[in-house]
């Protein structure tokens, strides 16, 4: 299963040069599969993703926005994007600020769907 997930992440990273890192994370923040640069720690990425996911879930429920689909954080140098990948996982990715956000969101949604099917 992990090899299948790594394959999905590899395809995602190779689809767009603007995606610099990706990971499949459990809702508790545990890394399931990752393709991260050496300077990023998988456990830290997982923990931060879980924190963002929890805040996103709480926000959409308290503000009556339905079920959480994606969380996006924009910094000066790029984006952090979390996409639900079924009930048991989240796709986390990091993309360059110069990237075409619409295409990145579309690629992330496709990858998240594939991850959900695997899990």
Q: Nearest CA to 22 among 76, 86, 87, 83?
A: 83
What is the predicted pLDDT for the residue at 101?
87
Number of structural domains found in the chain: 1
What is the predicted pLDDT for the residue at 87?
86
* Chain segment 58-116, per-residue pLDDT in tens: 998 989 988 888 889 999 999 999 998 988 899 999 999 888 888 899 999 999 999 99
What is the predicted pLDDT for the residue at 32?
94
Percent above pLDDT 70 for the chain: 100
Question: What is the residue range of 36's domain?
Answer: 2-118
Rounded to whole angstroms, the Cα distance separating 1 from 57 reads: 27
Taking all residues of the chain, what is their mean pLDDT, rounded to a whole number?
Answer: 90
CATH number at residue 23: 3.30.450.30
- Spacing of C-alpha 12 from chain mean position: 11
């Amino acid at each position: 299963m992990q090899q299948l997930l790594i394959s999905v992440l590899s395809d995602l990273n190779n689809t767009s040069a603007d995606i610099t890192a990706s990971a499949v994370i459990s809702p508790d923040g545990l890394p399931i599969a990752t393709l991260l640069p050496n300077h990023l720690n998988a456990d830290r990425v997982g923990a931060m993703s879980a924190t963002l996911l929890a805040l996103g879930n709480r926000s959409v429920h308290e503000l009556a926005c339905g079920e959480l689909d994606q969380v996006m954080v924009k910094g000066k140098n790029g984006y952090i994007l979390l996409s639900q990948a079924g009930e048991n996982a989240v796709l986390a990715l990091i993309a360059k600020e110069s990237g075409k956000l619409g295409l990145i969101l579309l690629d992330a949604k496709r990858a998240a769907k594939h991850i959900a099917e695997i899990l």
